[in-house]
Amino acid sequence: MADRKFFTGIATRYVTYEQAYRTVVRESAVAQNQAKRAIFALHRGDSAEANKLLGSALKVLVGFEPLFKKEPMLRYEGALRAAIEEFLEASFFRQFVLGNELDRVAELSDIDAELYLGGLSDLTGELVRYAVAQATARHFKEVARAKQTLDEVITFLVSLDLTGYLRQKYDQAKNSLRRMEEVAYDVALKGRGR
């Protein structure tokens, strides 16, 4: 015979977790979208809009803390981790655009190394986009600054023995390095042709 209280308890726990899970997935998508839009705002030179979007994304991400106290496993949900990684990428890009050193994103706590490494790896693509825009505008010192930052990130990543998901991110970052080298080469040729 089955213990009905036992079954009811399992059902209650499952329903509670599923509701929290769906909230995390839905709201994480919102935060991820806001972080992506912040990156685009930074590329357009609209720091005020980027700050507003990052503030909204942060509010969503920090708002999950009460759920994590009840359901700690939600902290490792893929949609949430993707949103945090996007937030970190946008925060790193904002640090770069503002001329600051790349540093810990203090607004979020309990961020593991994998998320930071993913955000740094993704940043390399934004540095290339930034360099292309700056080269087009003939701001060659900014191209050099973007290349130097990308070189520093790649040097750091190559010092680690990344595997799995992070290895894929690293391979994408290496492709960004190759593209950045092409941009720098084109800038050097244009500089000689003046």
* pLDDT, average across residues 73-91: 97
- 57-68 residue pLDDT tens: 999 999 999 999
CATH topology for 112-194 is Methane Monooxygenase Hydroxylase; Chain G, domain 1 (1.20.58)
1 has pLDDT over 80: no
174 has pLDDT over 70: yes
* pLDDT, average across residues 106-128: 95
Share of the chain above pLDDT 70, in %: 98
Mean pLDDT of the chain: 94
Which has the closest alpha carbon to 142: 48, 43, 35, 51? 43
- 16-26 residue pLDDT tens: 999 999 999 99
193 has pLDDT over 70: no
Around 45, how many Cα atoms within 13 Å sit in the side-chain half-sphere? 2
Q: What is the pLDDT of residue 2?
A: 79
- Angle, to 10 degrees, between the axis of helix 164-192 and the axis of helix 140-158? 150
pTM above 0.85, yes or no: yes
Would you say the C-alpha torsion 74, 79, 85, 90 has a positive or negative sign? Answer: negative
Where does the pLDDT of residue 192 fall: very low under 50, low under 70, confident under 90, or very high at 90 and above?
Answer: low
CA 150 from chain center: how many Å? 15
* 42, 93 contact by CB (below 8 A): yes
* pLDDT, average across residues 138-143: 94
- 146-171 residue pLDDT tens: 999 999 999 999 999 999 999 999 99
Where does the pLDDT of residue 110 fall: very low under 50, low under 70, confident under 90, or very high at 90 and above?
Answer: confident
35 has pLDDT over 70: yes
Domain boundaries, the chain: 112-194
